[in-house]
Structure 1
Amino acid sequence: MVLEGPNADFPYLMSDYHLGICPANDDGTIDTQSGLGTAGYKLESFDPGVRTYAVRNPNYWKSGRAHFDAIETLFVSDTGARENGLMSDELDVISSPNLATASRLGKRPGIDVFYTNGNQHCTLPMLNNVAPFGDNNAVMALKYAIDRQEWLEKIWFGYASLGNDVPIGPANQFRATNDEIPQREYDLDKAKYYLNSRSF
């Protein structure tokens, strides 16, 4: 594959769990029903948006893995329903709990909440081809005017990490560390300086 330009996420895109390896049908379409697979589990049934049922792959190449006989994955779009299913023992594991209630959920007996770094990120886009952000001083003023730590605590309830003005997530091996690019701190004096230095 030849890329038209650099892409720091390319290795991750090629190994992302969404990029499944499936056999092809005779007509060239993807065969999602045969259950063939190279992972720890083989697909037994799949109802898109409803349910996936997979059984342990006896030929899995990693020994000591795939501990369950089978895994059933249900699509439950409502966060409250997922959490209630977990608390009532109808579900064993859920993803993406409500961040506002995750810490309380973790205080319940028998429930552990795990946080792991990923590559999802939220941005504050600034169109640099129009005013006011065509002037880099306005961009810098906004960067210093935002208390990122406060946003992390109040919006994400601590379940996030600061992105430091780069769109490469913390789980990506190509992300610059804070030693390489020091984290920008909230600084109203610097924000005022840059705001007063703008050309518009």
Structure 2
Amino acid sequence: MRRDFRTCAVAAVLLTTTAAAAPALAQKPGGVLRVYSLDSPASMSIHEEATVFAQRPMMGVFNNLVIFKQDVPQNSLQSVVPDLATGWSWSEDGTELTFPLRQGITWHDGKPFTAADVKCTWDLLTGRSTDKLRLNPRKAWYRNLEEVTANGDYEVAFRLKRPQPAFVALLASGYSPVYPCHVPARDMRTRPIGTGPFKFVEFKPNEGIKVTRNPDYWKKDRPYLDGIEYTIIKNVSTAVLAFTAGKFDLTLGLPLPVVKDIRSQRPEAICQLAPTNVSRNLLLNRDKPPFDNPDLRRAMAMSLDREAFIDILTEGTGSIGGTMQPPPEGLWGMPPGLLKTLPGYGPDVQKNRGEARAIMQKLGYGPDKRLQIKLSARDIPFFRDPAVILIDQLKEIYIDAELEVVDTAQWFPKITRKDYTV
């Protein structure tokens, strides 16, 4: 189930800080953007984190080789533009991707950016480097990458094991910055150095994150802001009250009812609803009994009332999808007609649950013998709330779940270790 992204900003701030809001001549440079963040990441290293609460503040510290254009739908290769690269080209057989690089760019510590930095980054991500990441959430992205070679100082080539036209989209993600070769991975967790429009200032866990303008940024007249300050407030109600009181300029990822409250309290606020590829999923550890039984997994999938999640959590503004973002925003998502043929995706929820109960009874469960499980969720509302709904729905098929909430800093290591059941 995909949820939509809701953001509100006070008009005066939005118009002076968002590059895509108006032509460049209308921009007014200066000022510090004040934003709150609902969670505290384990570190500032994008390549070691899987949460937007690290990626969002640090994305401006770095550059990619290529990046999705930020003011158009980011759902096709046509929206990818050069960043540190000046362009790209494929070999005739589709297995080698070559990037000529921009010259004269420096890291925030003054050292020159070269092709060696690109090679070092992807050697680190694929485990070929002597330096190692503590966590590598996106290592699977590069299973098809044979090697990266530097052709002099200003050209790199990515050689693939087989053709993969969508590989460019992985490199354009906000989770694919280029790291400096001369800075160890451990230092990037606490003092990241990039080539981007903002320089890292500080990260105080559970308190805040600060970045400041890079006066030597290689893109002329950018950035407009003098800095961005993120204050970590884990309680949504407290954070929203602070926004409506004028303590913050921008708020992100709000439930729709809260957006309505903000509109009534701050009529001058600009609120926008936009689709994202953020999804809520039921994940089962198939290595741990009884979830190694495919029949049990099928029964759990058939117990779900997906529309109920959308109605309760987003007032009907989300979409049901499979692995990929569903149409029309998702170009590669499974069509709704085909999706409905999968177990548990049909519209008759009661019929699905009847079949699920029959499966559970064959496995030895029933009203007098219920399956007791522990259900883990990140300790933030966007994941806690659907977990509570899931617990209620699983009761329909003789499963009683105990909710375990986990801090974000511990969540991704826990998932990596497969230290969970559901």
**Global fold match (TM > 0.5):** yes
Q: Does 1:148 align with 2:306?
A: yes
Q: Which residue of 1 aligns with 2:294?
A: 134
Q: Which residue of 1 aligns with 2:243?
A: 86
Q: Can you list the C-alpha shifts for 1:108-135, whole angstroms capped at 9, x where unaligned?
A: 3122332333333222346777489633
Q: Which residue of 1 aligns with 2:179?
A: 22
Aligned-partner Cα distance in 2 for 1:18–1:191? 38
1:123 aligned partner, one-letter code: N
Tell me which protein shows more strand as a share of its residues. 2
User: Number of residues paired by the alignment?
Assistant: 188
- Is the contact made by 1:23 and 1:30 (CA closer than 8 Å) also made in structure 2? no
Q: Which residue of 2 aligns with 1:113?
A: 271
Deviation of 1:21 (Å): 2.9
Deviation of 1:96 (Å): 2.8
1:51 aligned partner, one-letter code: I
- Is the contact made by 2:255 and 2:313 (CA closer than 8 Å) also made in structure 1? no
- Is the contact made by 2:310 and 2:319 (CA closer than 8 Å) also made in structure 1? yes
CA RMSD of aligned residues (A): 4.2
Deviation of 1:89 (Å): 1.9
Q: Does 1:178 align with 2:339?
A: no
| Unpaired stretches in structure 2, ≥5 consecutive residues | 1-125, 127-141, 145-165, 363-422
Query: Which shifted more, 88-97 or 109-118?
Result: 109-118
Aligned-partner Cα distance in 2 for 1:148–1:27? 44
Percent identity, please: 10
Q: Can you list the C-alpha shifts for 1:4-25, whole angstroms capped at 9, x where unaligned?
A: 7xxxx97665443244333244
Aligned-partner Cα distance in 2 for 1:191–1:17? 39
Aligned-partner Cα distance in 2 for 1:127–1:35? 37
- Is the contact made by 2:211 and 2:229 (CA closer than 8 Å) also made in structure 1? yes
TM-score, length basis structure 2:
0.35
Query: Which shifted more, 108-117 or 186-195?
Result: 186-195
| Unpaired stretches in structure 1, ≥5 consecutive residues | none
Question: Which one has more relative contact order, counting CA pairs under 8 Å at least 6 apart?
Answer: 2
2:348 aligned partner, one-letter code: D
Q: Which residue of 2 aligns with 1:122?
A: 280
Q: Which residue of 2 aligns with 1:194?
A: 355
Aligned-partner Cα distance in 1 for 2:261–2:334? 33
Aligned-partner Cα distance in 1 for 2:278–2:319? 11
- Is the contact made by 1:52 and 1:72 (CA closer than 8 Å) also made in structure 2? yes
Q: Which residue of 1 aligns with 2:143?
A: 3
Q: Which residue of 1 aligns with 2:218?
A: 59
- Is the contact made by 2:346 and 2:352 (CA closer than 8 Å) also made in structure 1? no
- Is the contact made by 1:86 and 1:94 (CA closer than 8 Å) also made in structure 2? yes
Tell me which protein shows more helix as a share of its residues. 2
Q: Of 214, 228, 237, which residue of structure 2 is paired with 1:72?
A: 228
SS in structure 1 at match of 2:310? helix
